A and B are shown apart, each in its own frame.
Chain A
Amino acid sequence: MKGRWSSIVDGKGFDIALVALPLTFLLTLSGLPLIYNVLMSLQQVDLFSLGTFWRPFVGFKNYSELFAQQETWPILANTAIFVAASIVGQFLIGFGLALMFSTNFPGASWLRGLFLVSWVMPGLVVGAIWSWILSGDFGVLNFLLRESGLINGNIFWRSDPNYSLLAVIIANIWLGISFNMILLSVGLSAIPADLYEAAELDGANAWQRFWTITLPMMRSSIGAVIALGIILTLQQFDLFAAITSGGPNDSSNVAQYWAWELSFRQYDFAKGATISVIMIVFVMLAAFVYVRSTRHEIRG
């Protein structure tokens, strides 16, 4: 007993204790729910059987029922559109800003810091602000678009099925610009300056330098940023809750919001768990790419 105690104070036991406690906590509260989720997706769950672990086992019935529902494929398509459009928008704008700030004009680092402000804003606050900006009759975006002659009548961003998903995408791009910009800035600053000087001496213009130096050197940063963008976009829930609630008529619904709706609005926990399982597989794939593209730095 004394030996074990002294090991905890002064030996390997100390390190093992430090790492074992948090990992147990994480495994109980993230790992276990993950497994439980898979289990529930194979069970028949209703409000009466909620309190027990031993519910009727139904195999893949939840999955086949889910894909027989007519809203499933449109919602999955919305999810794909939401992720793709958000990533493209965030990445292009973020990369452009990162390139601009990398020229190191006076005040660059200070202005760059301001872009991180969206990171500390509660998601619901961002959603509330964009709800108001995108409001149909009195929204300021409609006003600006009308004044600049881009549209003639008001667009009802939040209630028109053709625009509702776009409304959330716009807000999500705004939210995602900051981390794209800052992470790409880090990648840009790691490129040695003498590479550019050498290329300039060889007569390469800015455009050629970008394609032959910047992009190839940024490959792993870009991979990490895009994978992280997919992960964060699939985590986005608050904007849907605040701006469209997935409506009208599921036109802006995405899988991560639908899973919650199934569980907590329709109390169909088995279906909610089923969607969760499917989406978590996708998130894990993106996470795998992310971890791989940052791996050399994790080891180092």
Chain B
Amino acid sequence: MRHAFRERLMLAAALVLTTVYLFPLYWMYITTLKSGSAIFASPPAFWPTDPQWQIYGHVWQSRNMGRYILNSLVIASGAVAIVSVLGVGCAYVLARYRNIWVDAGLFLVLMLQVLPASLMITPIFVGFSQVGLLHYPRLAVIIAIAAKGMPFFIVLVRATFMSIPRELEEAALVDGDSRSGAFFRIALPLARKGILVSGMLIFMQAFGEFVYSRSMIQRVELQPASVGLYSFMAPNANEWNSIMAYAAIYMTPLLAAFVLLQRGIVSGLTSGALK
């Protein structure tokens, strides 16, 4: 009896704290539904009395969001493609061997994972401009993001490979399969869920990336949605309902993907960071 009461008390406290935590998200969505004058009302309305749904279509059109989102998709897909093609094999090898070279490789990967983008952009920008890569700014951003995200991907996918017993591959080798055959036919299919979740995480990060895009893409037609949002937020911006609508359109697909993949993301993140 006492136990049940305590559990209910904890649940109530957790619900309150979760509500407080999620309030900024709620406030974003609520603000989008207010009119241009209602957002400046005092006291502010915590529930929209006169929801302005048309603002989404309006912002989408007037800010040319289709183009921005498309650029974000191109950049994120490109980065994920590079990261997964190169990263999976590396993660596999780092999971299967244990010697000084693997330790050194892993240490290198972990150290490269932590370099802040805003500090690395200076040498990357100058270097890329010297080799002429800045003539293809989206490609340049894709490559830079891939280099930034790959260590994290390798760490996550390596954890997945570690959980697959190597006896399965050895059995395939005994049955006459080649080394590469065992990798492609046994290990890779078994790890696909972990690879998929890690790829999604890289995709989401790349979809929201800002520093590299802001610094390397000058032409508006090629800029992603994060840069579009930045230029929308001029220092004295006051159309907060439109800005919040932009933000909502930008992140709602990510939110949906997060809700669908929540279990996988939680276990992927925790296994990568600490295990």
Contact = CB atoms under 8 A, between A and B. Distances in A.
A259 B119 contact: yes
Contacts of B108: 23, 26-27
B254 A120 contact: yes
A30 B115 contact: yes
Contact of B106 (A237, A275, A298): A298
Given A133-B27, A299-B98, A238 B229 contact: no
Interface in A1-59: 8-11, 14-15, 17-19, 21-23, 25-27, 29-34, 36-37, 40, 45, 50-53
B196 interface: no
A272 B39 contact: no
Interface size class of chain B, counting residues whose CB lies under 8 Å from the partner chain: 35 or more
Interface of A: 8-11, 14-15, 17-19, 21-23, 25-27, 29-34, 36-37, 40, 45, 50-53, 97, 100-101, 103, 105-108, 111-117, 119-126, 128-133, 135, 137-138, 140, 143, 147, 174, 177, 179, 182-183, 185-187, 221, 224, 228, 231, 234-235, 237-238, 241-242, 245, 256-257, 259-260, 263-264, 269, 272-273, 275-276, 279-280, 283-284, 286-288, 290-291, 294, 297-299
Q: Which 10 A-B pairs have the closest CB atoms?
A: A122-B208, A18-B89, A29-B147, A10-B178, A33-B123, A22-B90, A22-B86, A276-B119, A237-B118, A37-B123
26 contacts: A21-B90, A25-B82, A26-B112, A26-B147, A40-B123, A50-B129, A103-B10, A107-B11, A114-B21, A120-B254, A124-B247, A125-B247, A132-B240, A147-B43, A179-B273, A182-B269, A186-B270, A224-B274, A235-B118, A242-B230, A260-B118, A263-B215, A283-B119, A286-B114, A287-B110, A291-B107
Interface of B: 7-8, 10-11, 13-15, 17-18, 21-22, 24-25, 27-28, 31, 39-40, 42-44, 82, 86-87, 89-90, 92-94, 96-98, 103, 105-127, 129-130, 143-144, 146-148, 150-151, 154, 178-181, 183, 204, 207-211, 214-215, 225-226, 229-230, 233, 235, 240, 243-244, 246-247, 250-251, 254-255, 257-258, 262-263, 265-266, 269-270, 273-275
